[in-house]
Amino acid sequence: MAVPSTPLRVLACSVAFNEAEKIVRVVDRVDRTMVDEFIVFDDGSTDATPEAVRARGFRVVSHDRRRGVGAAIRSAIRLAQQEHFDVLVIMAGNDKDRPQEIPRLVDPIRRGDADFVQGSRYLPGGDFGNMPFYRRIATQLVHPWLFSLLSFRRITDSTNGFRAFRLSLFDDARFNIDQDWLDAYELEPYIFFKAIRLGYKVREVPVTKIYPPHELGYTKMKPITGWWSILRPIVLLGFRLKK
């Protein structure tokens, strides 16, 4: 007899900054039966991102100015805690991720097999499309190698922001997500790294991540500062320079 899934309240969210055209493609493909609610966290957009989302019937939570993707994810975590959700799913606001794959991330948590589920485009069954070679080297080799080395756990895709986790993680005081240095891209690898090093159940599942065409805005991450932002938590935590 199959063991019944644990009933959990699931919030899924996208973080968006000036993604009026692409965020519509995201919310139009959200199956509301997969989660209890889907919310867009708008990081101070100056375009019509909030209006475009509301026109589709979804809730928007907006920052008064651009604070960074980490700050927006922190806002999502705090709101999810206040509204008594059990699981938070994070996905891109620029149409890189596939909303229909949300159950792949949530199901291991429902079964009790994981506390943190990382989407991997590089596992069998995942897909990364026509990614530029330099970006594939960085996301498939360089960052996962360093992440795996310092976390003591083999990880295939450490930079993919499509993931889900139990909100009860943050009842553990050893997660300090309110640090100012986590406001940009640092918060995502920080939570992932800490979940592993603190002994929580972590697993990867295959997902699709296809970047939009360059003419639509390939990515907002800057080549040098953006990459240092996602490397910094690994270095600082790995060498115990930050907590």
CB-CB contact of 56 with 24 (8 Å): yes
Domains identified in the chain, total number: 1
Q: What is the pLDDT of residues 120-167, one digit of tens each?
A: 999 999 999 988 888 899 999 999 999 999 999 999 999 999 999 999
Amino acid 92: pLDDT: 95
Q: Which residue has the higher pLDDT, 173 or 215?
A: 173
CA pair distance 104, 121, nearest whole angstrom: 12
| Domain-embedded: residue 134 | yes
| Domain-embedded: residue 243 | no
Instruction: Using pLDDT thresholds of 50, 70 and 90, give the confidence band for residue 71.
Output: very high
Q: Is the pLDDT of residue 47 over 80?
A: yes
Instruction: Using pLDDT thresholds of 50, 70 and 90, give the confidence band for residue 228.
Output: confident
CA pair distance 186, 191, nearest whole angstrom: 9
For the chain, the C-alpha Rg in angstroms (whole number) is: 17
DSSP lists the bridge partners of residue 206 as 120
| Domain-embedded: residue 178 | yes
Percentage of the residues of the chain whose pLDDT score is greater than 70: 93
| Domain-embedded: residue 1 | no
Domain span including residue 100? 10-238
| Domain-embedded: residue 79 | yes
The CATH number covering residue 149 comes to 3.90.550.10
Q: Is the pLDDT of residue 1 over 90?
A: no
CB-CB contact of 14 with 48 (8 Å): no
| Domain-embedded: residue 107 | yes
Provide the whole-model pTM: 0.93
CA pair distance 178, 67, nearest whole angstrom: 13
CA pair distance 92, 207, nearest whole angstrom: 13
Instruction: Using pLDDT thresholds of 50, 70 and 90, give the confidence band for residue 212.
Output: confident
Instruction: Using pLDDT thresholds of 50, 70 and 90, give the confidence band for residue 214.
Output: low
* 177 burial type by CB count under 10 A (0-12 exposed, 13-18 middle, 19+ buried): middle
Amino acid 5: pLDDT: 55
Q: Is the pLDDT of residue 3 over 70?
A: no
Instruction: Calculate mean pLDDT across residues 112-123.
Output: 98
Instruction: Calculate mean pLDDT across residues 94-112.
Output: 97
What is the average pLDDT score of the chain? 93
Amino acid 38: pLDDT: 98
Q: Phi and psi dihedrals of 195, rounded to 5?
A: -60, -40
| Domain-embedded: residue 96 | yes
| Domain-embedded: residue 3 | no
CB-CB contact of 93 with 174 (8 Å): no
* 159 contacts: CB under 8 Å, gap ≥ 6: 138, 139, 143, 144, 189, 230
CA pair distance 178, 123, nearest whole angstrom: 32
CA pair distance 73, 88, nearest whole angstrom: 10
